[in-house]
């Protein structure tokens, strides 16, 4: 293998790991939704991997089209910046909407007590929540099916800005095999890092007693997703 290509592949792997670690939007939404919706490890892993694949393949497609049409790096970076803006706004909007629903649900589930008088004169009360008493299975199933698709769509919109310059180097040398190898190494590094960090955080939260916050889990998930989008939009992460 050519020495320059070897160095480029190492650079692609390093950048794939670092850009994922430095971007909380790559893993916090999955951690938040996994905890709020009670996803299994398998489900959380599957959704994270699929969203990561969509995230990388979207930029690969843009890069390949740009290379084929002879676009300059600057033109593709401008287009990727626009996609990044859309993805950030989508995360912010989804986070606000989901967090608002979660807040309303938490308020509706506020525990309260009813007093009961028995025929023998005994009086007792017990706390309960109307939300717990009336579960609409079809409504929950619908929300469970929609949420992963919303995340997938947002991640397909989200660009991998560091990938474009990496793709242009082998493209300038007319090495399509090298271009695909760089894209593959970058993609694997990104997806593996996303999944590893997300699962590690989910496991960490599992060992922390959070029973007092369970009622607010959906509101907190919406807040986490909103903050992820805000970090992209206003902090440039």
Lowest mean pLDDT among 102-111, 138-147, 216-225: 138-147
Q: What is the pLDDT of residue 129?
A: 53
Per-residue pLDDT at 46: 95
41-48's contacts with Cβ under 8 Å and 24+ in sequence apart are 41/199, 41/202, 44/198, 44/199, 44/202, 45/195, 45/199, 47/148, 47/151, 47/152, 48/191, 48/194, 48/195, 48/198, 48/199
> Smallest Cα–Cα separation from 216: which of 59, 35, 45, 40?
35
pLDDT, residue 27, reads 94
Q: What local confidence, expressed as pLDDT, does residue 32 receive?
A: 92
CA dihedral 135→92→64→46, nearest 10 degrees, is -30
Q: Give the start-to-end residue ranges of the domains of the chain.
A: 3-110+162-235
What confidence tens digit (pLDDT) does each residue in 62-82 have? 878 877 777 777 777 788 788
Q: Is the pTM of this model over 0.95?
A: no
Confidence of residue 4 (pLDDT cuts 50, 70, 90): confident
Give the residue among 57, 77, 56, 55 at the shortest CA–CA distance from 66.
77
Phi-psi region for residue 127, left (φ > 0), alpha (ψ -120 to 50) or beta?
A: beta
Q: What's the pLDDT score for residue 126?
A: 53
Whole-number pLDDT of residue 52: 94
Task: State the virtual CA torsion across 182, 186, 192, 193 in degrees, nearest 10.
Answer: 150
pLDDT on residue 139: 46
Average per-residue pLDDT in the chain? Answer: 81
Using pLDDT thresholds of 50, 70 and 90, give the confidence band for residue 135: very low
Using CA atoms, how far residue 140 sits from 36, 37, 46, 143, in Å, is 13, 10, 20, 5
Residue 144 has a pLDDT of 46
């Amino acid at each position: 293998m050519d020495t320059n290509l070897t160095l480029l592949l190492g650079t692609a792997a390093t950048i794939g790991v670092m850009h994922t670690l430095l971007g909380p939007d790559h893993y916090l939404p999955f951690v938040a939704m996994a905890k709020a919706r009670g996803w299994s490890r398998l489900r959380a892993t599957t959704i994270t991997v699929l969203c990561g694949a969509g995230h990388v393949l979207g930029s690969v497609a843009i890069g390949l089209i740009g290379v084929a049409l002879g676009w300059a790096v600057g033109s593709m970076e401008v287009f990727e910046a626009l996609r990044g803006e859309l993805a950030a706004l989508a995360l912010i909007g989804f986070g606000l909407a989901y967090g608002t629903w979660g807040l309303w649900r938490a308020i509706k589930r506020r525990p309260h007590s009813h007093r009961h008088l028995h025929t023998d004169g005994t009086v007792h009360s017990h706390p309960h929540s109307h939300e717990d008493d009336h579960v609409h299975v079809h409504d929950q199933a619908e929300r469970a099916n929609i949420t992963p698709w919303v995340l997938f769509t947002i991640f397909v919109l989200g660009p991998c800005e560091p990938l474009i310059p990496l793709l242009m180097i082998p493209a300038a040398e007319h090495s399509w095999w090298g271009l695909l190898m760089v894209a593959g190494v970058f993609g694997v590094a990104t997806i593996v890092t996303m999944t590893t960090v997300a699962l590690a955080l989910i496991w960490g939260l599992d060992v922390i007693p959070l029973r007092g916050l369970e009622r607010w889990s959906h509101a907190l998930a919406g807040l986490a997703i909103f903050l992820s989008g805000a970090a992209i939009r206003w902090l440039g992460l």
